[in-house]
């Protein structure tokens, strides 16, 4: 099949490479400025286009007229898109006989929108979905599902692990979807429900949403830490008035009956390097922190069980 590319990030780049390796022709590439956490930049897309004589444009808001100028009147059979910065209009989608396929890290129709992987971790889900679906102009993450995969998660799953899984799975799922549609252009794995009660809309998270509230339960705090970890800026609190990033933690349970203040350090393990902190009505084991621009085990930061995290 002839395939157009509209998107950013390693997810788009690796999907493009796999499609080409499977014998499909890449007919154009549209990308835009990368986000800080992306492994591939717009320059990488440009270099690939130049090396392979593929029409290329760097544009955060592609339109039908711009596409016509880029590739002329002969359009590819289908287009794939991941992480594009602009809204793709119905006019653009309808230019392709097979429409535009999008990869979405959510169990559609649930988990539509932004930061779905982080929200699924925060909400205590036991799995995260990944869908390849047809885009519908003016609608968010709707359209027929063509391929789908799931990853099981638990309280210890970090968002970076989910991103690694998505990075490996999205090119495979795009290839699966393209081959299904090449064999049968009307193929649909599942038609999404149009009932609003079946959908869950997720809104963007900001770095400040990683602030730890030590009065919350240990499991709530752990989910915040795991949802804020790499490739994001990390969960955080303050220690002695300065910012302390918390990268890794675990639930900690013992039989002790105790009185203490939430955020208080109650144990420092010098052999293994972790600390135990009171969290709500329980305890949390912290194993990896960053303080004063230095990332280390917590025992390198804390010297006293009188220490308080706020």
**CA–CA distance from 300 to each of 28, 270, 290 (Å)?**
52, 9, 10
**CA–CA distance from 44 to each of 5, 50, 293 (Å)?**
14, 10, 30
pLDDT 10s digits, 8-32: 999 999 999 999 999 999 999 999 9
pLDDT of residue 189: 96
3-class SS of residue 55: coil
Predicted TM-score (pTM) of the model is 0.89
Closest CA to 70 of 136, 6, 155: 6
pLDDT 10s digits, 84-98: 988 899 999 999 999
Integer Rg of the chain from CA: 23
Same fold, 2-202 and 207-300: no
CATH assignment of 2-202?
3.40.50.170
In whole angstroms, give the CA distance from residue 132 to residue 12. 13
Beta strand 294-296 with 2-7 is: unpaired
Tokens of 67: 């596409």
Whether the link from the prior residue into 35 is cis, omega within 30° of 0, is: no
Mean pLDDT by 10 residues, the chain (310 residues): 94 94 94 89 96 94 91 87 88 93 93 93 96 89 94 97 94 95 94 87 94 97 97 95 97 93 96 96 97 96 93
Tokens of 160: 């970076």
Beta strand 56-58 with 100-104 is: unpaired
Beta strands in 90-241 (DSSP E): 100-104, 112-113, 127-134, 145-152, 201-202, 235-239
pLDDT of residue 232: 92
Indicate the domain borders of the chain.
2-202, 207-300
pLDDT of residue 141: 86
CB-based contacts of 194: which residues, under 8 Å, 6+ apart?
Answer: 142
In degrees, to the nearest 5, what angle opens at C-alpha 296 toward C-alphas 291 and 300?
Answer: 80
pLDDT of residue 146: 97
Top-level class of domain 207-300? alpha beta
pLDDT of residue 86: 82
């Amino acid at each position: 099949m002839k395939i157009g590319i509209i998107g950013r990030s390693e997810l788009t780049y690796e999907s493009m490479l796999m499609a080409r390796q499977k014998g499909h022709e890449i007919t154009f590439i549209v990308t835009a400025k990368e986000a800080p956490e992306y492994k591939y930049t717009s320059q990488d897309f440009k270099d690939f286009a130049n090396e392979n004589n593929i029409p290329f444009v760097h544009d955060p808001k592609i339109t039908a007229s711009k596409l016509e100028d880029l590739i002329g009147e002969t359009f590819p059979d289908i287009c794939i898109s991941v992480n594009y910065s602009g809204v793709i209009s119905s006019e653009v989608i309808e230019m392709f006989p097979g429409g535009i396929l999008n990869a979405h890290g959510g169990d559609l129709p649930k988990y539509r929108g932004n930061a779905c992987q982080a929200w699924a971790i925060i909400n205590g889900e036991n799995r995260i979905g990944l869908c390849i679906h047809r885009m519908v102009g003016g609608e968010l993450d709707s359209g027929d599902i063509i391929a789908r995969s799931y990853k099981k998660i638990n309280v210890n799953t970090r968002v970076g692990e989910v991103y690694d899984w998505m990075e490996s799975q999205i090119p495979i799922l795009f290839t699966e979807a393209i081959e299904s549609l090449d064999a049968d252009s009307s193929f649909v794995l599942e038609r999404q429900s149009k009932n609003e009660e079946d959908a869950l809309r997720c809104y963007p998270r900001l770095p400040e949403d990683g602030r730890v509230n030590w009065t919350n339960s240990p499991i709530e705090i752990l989910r915040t830490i795991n949802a804020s970890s790499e490739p994001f800026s990390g969960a955080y609190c303050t220690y002695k008035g300065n910012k302390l990033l918390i990268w890794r933690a675990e639930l900690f349970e013992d039989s002790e009956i105790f009185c203490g203040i939430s955020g208080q350090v109650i144990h420092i393990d010098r052999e293994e390097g972790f600390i135990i902190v009171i969290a709500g009505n329980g305890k949390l084991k912290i194993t990896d922190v960053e303080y004063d621009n230095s990332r280390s085990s917590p025992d390198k930061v804390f010297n006293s069980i009188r220490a308080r995290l706020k």
